């Protein structure tokens, strides 16, 4: 147990300054200042959950699911890269609400936008965007969501979260594919199609599929869950469509020592994709892929793999949907992770959510809009209050040059992790994410213990897949945060 944890055991009688004196090098000068100012280092006063958190969890359990709780949080006391709990623990947060906080807790620029007249208007007058958009909606899109549109994708369809963003992208793909099969946008539906659609039968209900990859994660609604192949616990007992899955390349690390076999694994995956496209009994309308499989274990593939995947989809006239829900908005050192691929032909659709706070899909051109109104429609179709937040996030990213900073800090962090991996090879296996900003992961054989232990040393970290420790700092994560993280990680493996 660390000095810090012991300091908690010393109880409330221990004065603040005395407690600070007990801290290790990495946790020095840890007197926490709220009001949007980060502490200089984590503060760990109790085990987590501490007594106040435990009481709060018990209270919440009467009315809400609590078995998946990681920490109970005091948000007003959280600041920047640091997350606070009700027992006075303040951790460096490199999990960031499952990779969804972009520019720090209680970011002052976001707070300013949150209390702006535009936000108040958006909150109390939430529009049905498809029927009654505001005169300001086009401008809000252009100065926000669309200002950062991936190259070649200048249209957007907004949504609520990553899951429904993927589902409506799939719907667009099915409608597009069927329209092609039917002979174009001007060919009307047949009475038989209309009647059978009402009975959930072909030909009105398309006998098509979305092709995804093993160990992928695309959300947990019925359509996107049929493409999610992360873990049984995500899928058990839920009806699913009989859609195809291809093996995702299982790269070996370090990459430079396994170049040949990794290239073979990627080619084998591409061959499987092509075979499935040609033979699956429900032909794919689209392939959906994450730039980095972010829930399924931080699985990477090379730009060449994605370039060839793009070529395959074009060759077989099916769409490519890139799911950037977790990889998007800067964390890989590019605004969109697929920028790393240098594609000649952009993807047909790119889905986003999480750090954007808003959600939806960007798409290539108007020909991907369904041929009639009300085919892609719902009551709210997004949320202007979240679009306002996304604009504020974009402005903050630009003001502080956070994408470039994340690229640089990521390189720094990766270098430090390589040092740890050399020193503790059994604890830092398959270190990956080089050149991918702070989107870094490694495997640890005792991963779950590792994550619990990390809290004792002042860091909140998440896992992915079976054994990966996934780092998902915010874009405001800097070199001095990386130093604190590295120090804590070393303490963790020493204590494991």
CA geometry: angle 468, 302, 441, nearest 5 deg:
20
Catalytic, 46? Answer: no
Catalytic, 323? Answer: yes
Site for its own copies in 52-81 (CB under 8 A): 52-53, 56, 59-60, 62-76, 78
Which residues, other chains included, contact 294 with Cβ-Cβ below 8 Å and sequence gap of 6+? 99, 217, 326, 327, 439, 464, 470
Count of residues in contact with its own copies, rule CB under 8 A = 126
Q: Which CB atom, from 12 or from 117, has the smaller least distance to its own copies?
A: 117
Evaluated on CA atoms 6, 11, 14, 17, the torsion sign reads positive
Q: Determine if 461 is a binding residue for its own copies (CB under 8 A).
A: no
Q: Which CB atom, from 3 or from 241, has the smaller least distance to its own copies?
A: 241
- Rounded CA gap, 251 and 351, in Å? 25
Query: In what helix (H) or strand (E) does residue 213 lie, and over which residues does it extend?
Result: strand 209-213
Q: C-alpha dihedral over 378, 380, 382, 386, to 10 degrees?
A: -170
Site string for its own copies, 14-53 (x = CB under 8 A): --------------------------------------xx
> In angstroms, what is the minimal distance from the CB of 312 to its own copies?
22
Which residues, other chains included, contact 489 with Cβ-Cβ below 8 Å and sequence gap of 6+? 417, 420, 454, 459
- Helices 117-124, 384-399: axis angle to 10 degrees equals 150
Tell me which stretch binds its own copies (CB under 8 A): 203-211, 327-335, 344-352, 445-453: 203-211
Residue count of the chain, please give it. Answer: 496
Q: Determine if 156 is a binding residue for its own copies (CB under 8 A).
A: yes
Q: Which CB atom, from 391 or from 416, has the smaller least distance to its own copies?
A: 391
Query: Which entry of 323, 348, 383, 443 is annotated as an active-site residue?
Result: 323
Q: Determine if 12 is a binding residue for its own copies (CB under 8 A).
A: no
Site string for its own copies, 322-361 (x = CB under 8 A): -------------------------------xx--x----
- Rounded CA gap, 438 and 410, in Å? 4
> In angstroms, what is the minimal distance from the CB of 13 to its own copies?
24
SS3 93: strand
> In angstroms, what is the minimal distance from the CB of 71 to its own copies?
6
Closest CA to 170 of 363, 301, 310, 346: 363
> In angstroms, what is the minimal distance from the CB of 131 to its own copies?
4
Q: How many CA atoms lie within 13 A of 178 on its CB side?
A: 23
Q: Determine if 236 is a binding residue for its own copies (CB under 8 A).
A: yes
Query: Which entry of 377, 379, 448, 494 is annotated as an active-site residue?
Result: 379
> In angstroms, what is the minimal distance from the CB of 116 to its own copies?
9
Site for its own copies in 165-194 (CB under 8 A): 167, 170-171, 174-175, 177-179, 189, 193-194
Site for its own copies in 107-146 (CB under 8 A): 107, 110-111, 114-115, 117, 119-121, 123-135, 137-138, 141-142, 146
Q: Determine if 105 is a binding residue for its own copies (CB under 8 A).
A: yes
CA distances from 47 to 8, 9, 15, 277 (A): 8, 9, 18, 52
Q: Which CB atom, from 147 or from 494, has the smaller least distance to its own copies?
A: 147
Residue 287, Ramachandran bin (φ over 0: left; ψ between -120 and 50: alpha; else beta): beta
Q: Determine if 427 is a binding residue for its own copies (CB under 8 A).
A: no
CB atoms within 10 A of CB 365: 11
Query: Which entry of 27, 217, 305, 442 is annotated as an active-site residue?
Result: 217
CA distances from 161 to 194, 306, 358, 449 (A): 30, 25, 7, 31
> In angstroms, what is the minimal distance from the CB of 194 to its own copies?
4
Tell me which stretch binds its own copies (CB under 8 A): 1-9, 241-249, 265-273, 300-308: 241-249
Q: Determine if 495 is a binding residue for its own copies (CB under 8 A).
A: no
- Rounded CA gap, 399 and 324, in Å? 23
Site for its own copies in 272-291 (CB under 8 A): 282
Catalytic, 217? Answer: yes
> In angstroms, what is the minimal distance from the CB of 235 to its own copies?
4
Q: Listing from the earlier edge strand, what are the strands of the sheet with 459-460?
A: 82-84, 90-93, 459-460
Evaluated on CA atoms 196, 197, 202, 204, the torsion sign reads positive
Q: Which of 14, 197, 314, 420 binds its own copies (CB under 8 A)?
A: 197
Which residues, other chains included, contact 237 with Cβ-Cβ below 8 Å and sequence gap of 6+? none
Tell me which stretch binds its own copies (CB under 8 A): 101-109, 271-279, 299-307, 484-492: 101-109
Which residues are known catalytic residues? 217, 323, 354, 379
């Amino acid at each position: 147990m660390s000095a810090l944890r012991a300091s908690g055991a010393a109880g409330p009688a221990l004065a603040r300054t005395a407690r600070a004196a007990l801290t290790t090098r990495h946790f020095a000068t840890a007197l926490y200042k709220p009001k949007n100012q980060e502490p200089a280092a984590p503060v760990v006063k109790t085990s987590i959950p501490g007594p106040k958190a435990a009481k709060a969890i018990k209270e919440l359990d009467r009315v809400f699911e609590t078995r998946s709780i990681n920490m109970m949080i005091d948000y007003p006391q959280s600041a920047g890269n640091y997350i606070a709990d009700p027992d006075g623990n303040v951790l460096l947060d490199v999990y960031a609400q499952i990779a969804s906080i972009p520019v720090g807790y209680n970011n002052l620029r976001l707070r300013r936008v949150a209390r702006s007249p535009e936000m108040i208007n958006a909150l109390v007058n939430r529009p049905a965007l498809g029927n009654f958009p505001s005169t300001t909606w086009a401008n809000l899109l252009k100065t926000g969501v669309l200002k950062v549109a991936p190259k070649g994708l200048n249209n957007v369809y907004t949504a609520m979260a990553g899951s429904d963003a993927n589902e409506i992208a799939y719907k667009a793909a099915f409608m597009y594919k069927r329209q092609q099969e039917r002979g174009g946008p001007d060919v009307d539906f047949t009475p038989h199609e209309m009647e059978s659609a009402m009975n959930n039968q072909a030909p009105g209900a398309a006998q098509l599929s979305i092709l995804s990859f093993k160990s992928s994660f695309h959300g947990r609604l019925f359509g996107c869950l049929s493409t999610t192949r992360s873990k049984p616990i995500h899928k058990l007992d839920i009806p699913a469509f009989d859609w195809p899955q291809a093996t995702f390349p299982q790269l070996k690390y370090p990459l430079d020592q396994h170049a040949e076999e990794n290239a073979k694994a990627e080619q084998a995956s591409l061959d499987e994709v092509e075979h499935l496209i040609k033979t699956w009994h429900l032909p794919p309308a689209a392939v959906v892929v994450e730039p980095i499989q972010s829930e399924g274990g931080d699985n990477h593939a090379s730009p060449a793999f994605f370039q060839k995947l793009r070529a395959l989809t074009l060759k077989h006239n099916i769409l490519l949907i890139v799911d950037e829900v977790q990889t998007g908005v800067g964390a890989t050192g590019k605004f969109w992770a697929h920028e790393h691929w240098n594609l000649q032909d952009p993807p047909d659709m790119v889905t986003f959510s999480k750090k954007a706070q808003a959600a939806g899909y960007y798409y290539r051109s108007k020909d991907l809009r369904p041929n009639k109104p009300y085919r892609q429609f719902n009551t709210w179709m997004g949320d202007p209050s979240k679009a306002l937040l996304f604009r504020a996030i974009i402005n903050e990213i630009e003001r502080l040059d956070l994408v470039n900073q994340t690229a640089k800090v990521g390189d720094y962090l990766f270098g430090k992790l390589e040092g740890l991996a050399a020193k503790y090879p059994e604890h830092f296996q398959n270190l990956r994410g080089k050149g991918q900003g702070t989107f870094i992961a490694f495997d640890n054989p005792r991963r779950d213990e590792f994550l619990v232990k990390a809290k004792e040393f002042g860091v909140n970290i998440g896992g992915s897949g079976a054994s990966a420790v996934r780092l998902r700092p915010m874009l405001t994560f800097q070199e001095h945060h990386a130093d604190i993280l590295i120090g804590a990680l070393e303490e963790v493996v020493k204590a494991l």
